[in-house]
Structure 1
Amino acid sequence: MMIQPNILLIVADQLRKTAVGAYGNRDVKTPVIDKLSREGVTFSNSVSASPVCAPYRASLQSGLYPHQHGVRSNADLFKPSFKGVAEYFSEAGYETCFVGKSHFGLDEIEEKDGWVRPEHRLGWKHWYGTGGDHHWDTPIYDERGMLDTKYYGRYGAEVRSEIAMDFIERHQSKPWLLQLNYSEPHIATMPALYGMPATREYIRELNQSLELGLTEEMLNVANPLAFCGTFPQSLLTQLLPQRYLDMYDETGLTLDPNVPERFRKLTSIFLKECYAMITCLDEQIGRVMDCLERTGESRNTIVIFTSDHGDMLSDNFLREKSLPYQNAYRTPFIAWGPEAGVPSGKGTDALINSVDVMPTLLELAGIKPGTNLPGVSQAPWITSGEGVCQQDVLLGVGNWRALFDGTYFYAVEKRDSTVKAIRLIHAQNDPYETENLLDDAFEGVYVELQKRMHERLFVRLAEVQDRAFADTDR
C-alpha cells in the first residue's frame, strides 16, 4: 500500500522567476530556496495561467481557469461552485491547513481584509487565512469573524511561519496538506499613507532631491493603491525589518538592460526592497524546513515552492503584473523531498501551468482527480525526474490571451468584438523582450509561425470553452 506523503505547498506573492538565485540571479540572497533546488526538481518553464493575485489563487484552489471559476480580476467576488483541492485531500484522509494570504477575490466584507466565510473555505479544516497585510500587523480572524489582535506589532512572514510550524508539530499522526502563503515580495499596500497630501508633497521633494525620474503625471496618480507601485516605500515607512534592507546596497545591483534610463535609480531602490523581502521569505522558509527536520516530518514530506505571478520591476513598466510579459507570467516552481522519493538535482524544461498544480498535487498523494479539470499532472517529473512534456500552455487575464510553448510566446488582445495579435516573442533568445516579432522590422519573416500559433491558440481556447475569445471575430 502506498504511503501517502505530506504535502507542503509554499506560495510566494509577486515573485518572478528571475529574482531567485536558483534561476541565475547573482544579486539576491536565497540560500534556502537554492538548496531546495539543488536537492530537488526545478522547473524552468513554470507560468501563471492568470498573472494577477485573485484569479491565480482561485485557480490554485479549483484547478480551473478564471473564465471557469468566475474570478477574472481582483474585483470579482469569490463564489465557489467547484470542488476545492482541500476537499479532495480531506476525503482521502488528510489533515488540511491553510495559512496566510487567501485573496480568492473581492473581500466579502470590505473592512475585514482577507476574511472568508467558513462555508467558502473549500474544505480547509484548519484555517488561518489573511488578507494582503503587506506586511505588519497580520489581521487574522476567528471563526466568528472577530479580529485576533495578538499578532499586532509582528511582521507577517514571521507570524505565518510560526502558525505553520505549530500545525506541523501538532499533526504527525496522519498525512497532511499545508498551504503556506507569504505576502513577500509584493509591494506593501498602504492607501492611507499615499492618500495624504503631506505624503505626496514629501514624495515630490524626494523625487527631486534623489533624481528618481518620476513625471508629474505619475506623481498625480489619484488612486493611492496604484501609486504604491510608483514609489519606493522604504523611503517613507518601515517596510520590513531593517536588517534585511541592510543586506543590500542598491548602487551595486544589476539592472535589466530594458529598464528605461530615467528609471534606473528608482528601479535600483525597488530592487533593494524586493530582494530584501525575498531574503526574508527565504529565511522564513528555512525556519519551516528546520521544523520539518526537527519533527522528523521531512522523511515523508514533498515541498512545492512557487509564486502566484511575477513583477515587471521597471522592465518597460514599474511595479506591475497582469501583463503579457515574461517577468509577469514566468514563476519559480521547485519540488523537494529527497526522503519522499523526489530525485535530487534534477532540472526540467517541461511546461507547468498554474492549472496543472492541483492535478499534480492529487497524483502525488495518490488521489484520483475529477474529470472536469483542464490541467495536466506533472507529478511524474517530481517523482522520477522524467515525464511527458506538454506541447504548450494557455494563459491570459483581462482582455488578453496567450500561448507559450517554451520557446515562443504569442499573445492576442480583444478590442471590442475583434481580436488583434499584439506580441510574438522568442522567449529563449530574447529574455528581455526587446524584439516583438510582429513589428514592421520583421514583416513577412514570421508569418507562418504567427499563423500556426494563432490557430493553435484558438484551438486551445475552444477546448477550455473560453467563449469570450473563442467566439470572437479573429
Structure 2
Amino acid sequence: MIAPRKIIISFLFLVFIFCQVRADKPNVIFILADDLGWMDLGCYGSKYYETPALDQLAKEGILFTAAYAPHPVCGPSRAGIMAGKMPVKTGNVGVTGSLSTHEKTMAEAFKENGYTTYFTGKWHLGMTEGRHPANQGFDEIVGVNYAGQPGSYFYPYEDIGQDWIGGKRRVIIERDVLGLSGGKEGEFLTDRLTDEAIDFIQNNREKPFFMYFSHYAVHTPLQGKEEYIKHYEPKGNELDTRDVLEKIDDRAYSRIRQSNPVYAANVQSLDESVGKIMNTLRQLGLEENTIIVFTSDNGGFSTTKGGTPQMPTSNLPLRFGKGWMYEGGIRVPAIVKYPKKVESGTKSDQVICGYDFYPTLLSLAGLPLLPNQHVDGVNVFNPKENSKLNKREMYWYYPLKHVSGHTPSAAMRQGDYKLILDLDTEEVKLYNVKKDISEDKELSVENKELTLSMKNRLVSFLNKNKPVQN
C-alpha cells in the first residue's frame, strides 16, 4: 500500500509537470476575415468604419503595413495559408479552393504537438474526398458550409437568393451554414460563431488549443444589423460627397469612397467579435499566453465589370480590389499579438505573406518547423530572416476571368518592385510599390532591363510549377 504522503507528493509532481507543459505551449487563435480590405480598419486609416477592438489589438501587438494575401481570391489564398506555400504549388488557381490531404496543414502540425484544434466558419477548401476540415487536422468543427459565402447572415442561415439588396438570383443550398440549430429570429451569424468559439475557449482553457476562426464576414451577401446600418447611413456623406463609383479601366468600375452602411455594419460586427474573444482571454487569465493573428484572405471587394452603387468598400489609396493583381487585390491587414514575444504598439513595413504564418506560429509556440511543408513561408520574427523577407521573390497566378473585371494575369514582387503580366496579351506593367503604393506610375519603359528580367523569372516560375486549375 502506498503511503498517503507519497500519493500527495506524486500528485503534486504531476500537477507541476502539467503546469510546466501548459506554460510552454501558448494558445493560438488565428482570425481570418473574408474580403476585408487593407483600408477597412481604423488602425489602417479608415475614417468611416468603426473598429475599436481591432485598433486596440494593433496597439497591443504589431501591425504590418506590407502584408499580402497568397492570392487575390478566396479559395487559393486559404490553401496558401493552410499549407504554408504559394497556392499554385497546391494546385489552386480558381475561386473555389481545394486542399489535398497530402498537404500537412497548420492545424495538423499543432495537433501532432498536443494541441486541441478547433475550426469555425468558412472553409472553402473542399468538402469531399476527405478534404473536409475534420480530415485536415481539426478536432472540432462548427458552422461550415459547402460554398464560399453564407446564404444569409441571419438565422437560420439559409440561402435567400440575394447578394445585393433588392437583387434576386436562384437559391444555392450549398451556401446554407450547417449545424447551428437552436437559434432565434434576428440572431446574427458573426455573433453566433463567436459565442460558439467562446464556449470552446472556456471548455479548453486548461490545455493548449489552436483555433482557426474563419469568418464569413465581410463577404456578401450585403447584410448587417439594422441598428448598425442606421448609425452609418448619414456618416458616409458627412465624410465624402464624391460620386460613389468611378470608371478606372476599360474593364471595370471601382468604388472610390467608403460609405456603404450595410457593409459598415458587417465590419462592426466583425470587430465586436474580436473584442469578445479578447475579453474572454482576459477574464480567463489566458491573454499573456495566447498568440492572436488577424488578417484577411484577399483585398476588399471594390471593383466590378458593370459597377453598382452597392459595391461594398473602397481600397483607396490602393488600386482596384479583390480579384486583381494590383495592391487593392492582394495587400491585406495583418496584426499579431503575443505579449511574451511580440513588442506591443509597433508597426512594420516588412513584406510578409499569408503563407508566412505557418512557420511563424510554430516558431512562436516553440514547436519544430516542417520545412518540407511550409516551403515558401518564413518566420517573420526571426531576425536572421528579416533581410530575406524584403528581397525574396513572391508570385501570384490567376489565369481566369473574375466578376471584378479581372482578366487572366500573373504577378511577382521582388524588393520594392512588382510586375504584373497579362496572360492574354503578354503586356507587362512595373511599379515601385514601396514608393508608389497607389501604382500610379508605370515604370516598364524606363526600366526595360529590370522589367525583362522579372518577366523572365515570372514565366520561368510558372513553367516550373506547371499550374493547373484545381
Aligned-partner Cα distance in 2 for 1:84–1:256: 45
Q: Which residue of 2 aligns with 1:394?
A: 395
452 and 258 in structure 1: CA distance in 2 versus 1, 3 angstrom threshold:
farther
Matches within 5 A, 1:171-250: 171-188=204-221, 233=222, 239-248=223-232, 249-250=235-236
User: How far did residue 453 of structure 1 move?
Assistant: 2.5
Q: Which residue of 1 aligns with 2:346?
A: 346
The answer to whether the 8 Å contact 2:194/2:277 transfers is yes
The answer to whether the 8 Å contact 1:356/1:376 transfers is yes
User: How far did residue 424 of structure 1 move?
Assistant: 1.9
The answer to whether the 8 Å contact 2:38/2:331 transfers is yes
User: Deviation per CA, 1:292-342, whole angstroms, max 9, x where unpaired?
Assistant: 00111112001100000012424998556221121111101100122x322
The unaligned stretches of length 5 or more in structure 2 are 1-19, 159-176, 312-320, 400-407
Is 1:149 matched up with 2:150? no
Is 1:69 matched up with 2:53? no
User: Deviation per CA, 1:437-463, whole angstroms, max 9, x where unpaired?
Assistant: 34xxxxx4121231233244346556x
The answer to whether the 8 Å contact 2:26/2:289 transfers is yes
Q: Secondary structure at the match of 2:43?
A: helix
**Stretch of structure 1 that moved more, 275-284 or 1-10:** 1-10
376 and 163 in structure 1: CA distance in 2 versus 1, 3 angstrom threshold:
same
Q: Which residue of 1 aligns with 2:465?
A: 466
Is 1:279 matched up with 2:268? yes
The answer to whether the 8 Å contact 1:304/1:333 transfers is yes
Aligned-partner Cα distance in 2 for 1:108–1:256: 47
User: How far did residue 5 of structure 1 move?
Assistant: 1.1
Q: Which residue of 2 aligns with 1:323?
A: 324
Aligned-partner Cα distance in 1 for 2:33–2:103: 24
Q: Which residue of 2 aligns with 1:299?
A: 288
Q: Secondary structure at the match of 1:260?
A: strand
Moved over 6 A (4+): 255-258, 261-267
Q: Give the TM-score of the pair, scaled to structure 1.
A: 0.74
Q: Which residue of 2 aligns with 1:221?
A: none
Q: Secondary structure at the match of 1:309?
A: coil
Is 1:335 matched up with 2:342? no
282 and 428 in structure 1: CA distance in 2 versus 1, 3 angstrom threshold:
same
Matches within 5 A, 1:158-173: 158-173=191-206
The answer to whether the 8 Å contact 1:139/1:149 transfers is no
257 and 353 in structure 1: CA distance in 2 versus 1, 3 angstrom threshold:
farther
User: How far did residue 138 of structure 1 move?
Assistant: 6.0
97 and 168 in structure 1: CA distance in 2 versus 1, 3 angstrom threshold:
same
Aligned-partner Cα distance in 2 for 1:310–1:86: 24
Q: Secondary structure at the match of 1:380?
A: coil
The answer to whether the 8 Å contact 1:258/1:432 transfers is no
Equivalent position to 2:32, from 3, 8, 11: 11
96 and 446 in structure 1: CA distance in 2 versus 1, 3 angstrom threshold:
same
Q: Which amino acid aligns with 1:87?
A: E
User: How far did residue 78 of structure 1 move?
Assistant: 4.7
374 and 86 in structure 1: CA distance in 2 versus 1, 3 angstrom threshold:
same
The answer to whether the 8 Å contact 1:343/1:385 transfers is no
253 and 407 in structure 1: CA distance in 2 versus 1, 3 angstrom threshold:
farther
Q: Which residue of 2 aligns with 1:374?
A: 375
The answer to whether the 8 Å contact 1:40/1:336 transfers is yes
The unaligned stretches of length 5 or more in structure 1 are 110-115, 189-232, 234-238, 439-443, 470-474
The answer to whether the 8 Å contact 1:184/1:278 transfers is yes
Aligned-partner Cα distance in 2 for 1:100–1:292: 20
User: How far did residue 266 of structure 1 move?
Assistant: 7.4
Q: Give the TM-score of the pair, scaled to structure 2.
A: 0.75
126 and 57 in structure 1: CA distance in 2 versus 1, 3 angstrom threshold:
same
Aligned-partner Cα distance in 2 for 1:261–1:48: 25
275 and 147 in structure 1: CA distance in 2 versus 1, 3 angstrom threshold:
closer
Q: CA RMSD in A?
A: 3.3
386 and 50 in structure 1: CA distance in 2 versus 1, 3 angstrom threshold:
closer
Aligned-partner Cα distance in 2 for 1:372–1:342: 25
The answer to whether the 8 Å contact 1:63/1:373 transfers is yes
More helix by share: 1
Q: Which residue of 1 aligns with 2:140?
A: 126
Aligned-partner Cα distance in 1 for 2:428–2:120: 39
User: How far did residue 255 of structure 1 move?
Assistant: 8.2
Q: Which residue of 2 aligns with 1:212?
A: none
Aligned-partner Cα distance in 2 for 1:261–1:327: 16
Is 1:410 matched up with 2:424? no
The answer to whether the 8 Å contact 2:96/2:125 transfers is no
Q: Secondary structure at the match of 2:63?
A: strand
Q: Which residue of 1 aligns with 2:49?
A: 28
Q: Which residue of 2 aligns with 1:136?
A: 154
Q: Which residue of 2 aligns with 1:210?
A: none
59 and 410 in structure 1: CA distance in 2 versus 1, 3 angstrom threshold:
same
